[in-house]
Structure 1
Amino acid sequence: MSPILTQHLPALESMKKYPSKLFYKGNLELLQRPKVSIVGTRRPSNYTRQCTYALANALAKRGVCVVSGAAMGVDAVAHAGAGAENTIAVVANGLDIRYPAVNKELIAGIEEKGLLLSQFNDGFRATGWSFVVRNELVVALGDSLIVTEADLESGSMRSVEYALKMGKKVFVLPQRLDESLGTNKLLNEMQATPIHNIETFASTFGQSADDGIQKDEFFYFCQTLPTFDESLKRFGDRVYEAELEGIITIQNGIVRLN
């Protein structure tokens, strides 16, 4: 039997009902990072694939954990773009089943280096309603939601409904008028914010780890705007060293990445 998560996750209090059980496999430390949920169609265009991969990659370089549902299409591209070690996959079945089969290697990698979550017992096979349950959990975990492509009547649009009810900001990619009718409708009704430049969007989460900051737990920790006392307790002299090196700034008792 897959282990049950015992720690309380405040982010999940925004769900209709806090999960009675949450099974996991992998690295629970990912739950402490800033998180962004990325969802979308199972049949993305090449443009959507390229942008989704680039978005997830740019976010991961800034210590952000990408959350998605391990489905075909946008989900799989988002997980791949972030890298297994920077992603949380929420599935609609028991964790002893790697579904869909086409993504079994991707899921195995996340199980080993990232984090898999499920509300369902081992042996449970995905059904229509379990995908709905999965979608709510994906949205709840993220600080915001990105929908890169979606039809009007789709699970991704249901995820948007969850996000709006939870008070989370929704972002979408600009698409052609006759494509991704769901996200275009959100833009038309001003329920979502367009991402016009991936690097500009990602930079709101901090500086890329590829720009001279070592991508380690200290970097991830500082993304959460911790207090100076919290940082000192956890990392000791590393805090002072980072300040001297210009990696962080301490203002009003809060640690911020430069």
Structure 2
Amino acid sequence: MQNIQKIDFHIPELDSMKKYPENLYYIGNLDLLNKKKIGIIGSRHPSQYAINYTHQIANQLSQTNITIISGGAIGIDTIAHKASGNDNTIMISGTGLDIRYPSINKKLITEIEQKGLVLSQFPPNTPSLPRNFAIRNELIVALSDILIVSYADIKSGSMRSIEYALKMKKEIFVLPHRIGESEGTNKLLANGKAKAIYNINDFISQFKNSKIVENIKDDFLEYCKTNPTYNEAVTKYNEKVFEYELLGKIIIINGRINIF
């Protein structure tokens, strides 16, 4: 594990918090704090629709040189971190930085430590206590210029984050969902407290500092066009097979990979 250090300078964005953090620990690249930052959060159990569009939004925002902030949890957080690239994402931890939580994301967290930035208000050896994640959520919102909530039930940690965002007068964006899905974000829309992302290109265009790279060649998808066997693909590309299947970009039929 890389050295855990304390931030010894003032971060103006954090003045919007109820109380400025007494301590802030980090591993990684502090230069990311100087970039435009957008928070992307949501359920640990999102729909496939939310997964697909979260990936697309985070990836395209990152291509415009915007840093993505999230909380490292499974579900939407994981998709946001991975889609933005390990070198352009900030993870806010709800534990001490000597504890990579959740353990299922240990590899992802390690990669963010090496190329991106991991922050925590908690000293080493602080475990994953429920109250700590509300504190983490406030830090995510404070650092973010705007907040995107991809999927959220009414009673969820994401809705607590939205409370912080409303108090801090941060702009909130959500995906439009069907009735009965993501009822938390649908309620925000109904009450006029969030804006819906109806067209991703239009949404991304308002944040452009540089041109989005269109039609980037994806070597893995090009390979999948050859209809390889599942075993061949796993041998050559390992985790990409699982990731792209999860994102709905590929499907396994009769032991072979097909593109949607």
Same fold, judged at TM 0.5 (above): yes
1:25 and 1:93 map into 2 onto residues whose CA distance is 13
Q: Does 1:138 align with 2:129?
A: no
Partner of 2:125: 123
Give how far 1:7 is off. Answer: 1.5
Unaligned runs of 5+ in 2: 215-260
Whether the 8 Å contact between 2:60 and 2:212 is mirrored in structure 1 is: no
1:199 and 1:95 map into 2 onto residues whose CA distance is 36
Give how far 1:209 is off. Answer: 4.5
Unaligned runs of 5+ in 1: 212-258
Whether the 8 Å contact between 1:15 and 1:140 is mirrored in structure 2 is: yes
2:99 and 2:45 map into 1 onto residues whose CA distance is 23
Partner of 2:156: 154
Identity of aligned residues (%): 50
What's the TM-score, normalizing by structure 2? 0.80
Cα deviation digits, residues 72-112 of structure 1 (max 9, x gap) = 10000000110111100000001111110111111011000
CA RMSD of aligned residues (A): 0.9
Matches within 5 A, 1:165-204: 165-204=167-206
2:211 and 2:63 map into 1 onto residues whose CA distance is 5
Whether the 8 Å contact between 1:58 and 1:198 is mirrored in structure 2 is: no
Deviates more, 1:172-181 or 1:200-209: 200-209
Whether the 8 Å contact between 2:151 and 2:185 is mirrored in structure 1 is: yes
1:202 and 1:100 map into 2 onto residues whose CA distance is 30
2:13 and 2:81 map into 1 onto residues whose CA distance is 21
Partner of 1:210: 213
Q: Does 1:63 align with 2:74?
A: no
What's the TM-score, normalizing by structure 1? 0.80
Give how far 1:208 is off. Answer: 2.9
Matches within 5 A, 1:226-245: none
Partner of 2:81: 79
* Pairing partner for 2:31 from 25, 29, 34: 29
* Pairing partner for 2:20 from 18, 34, 37: 18
Give how far 1:200 is off. Answer: 1.3
Counterpart code for 1:25: I
Cα deviation digits, residues 206-252 of structure 1 (max 9, x gap) = 143426xxxxxxxxxxxxxxxxxxxxxxxxxxxxxxxxxxxxxxxxx
1:104 and 1:197 map into 2 onto residues whose CA distance is 34
Matches within 5 A, 1:80-95: 80-95=82-97
Whether the 8 Å contact between 1:58 and 1:208 is mirrored in structure 2 is: no
1:202 and 1:8 map into 2 onto residues whose CA distance is 30
Whether the 8 Å contact between 1:172 and 1:194 is mirrored in structure 2 is: yes
1:210 is paired with a residue whose SS is coil
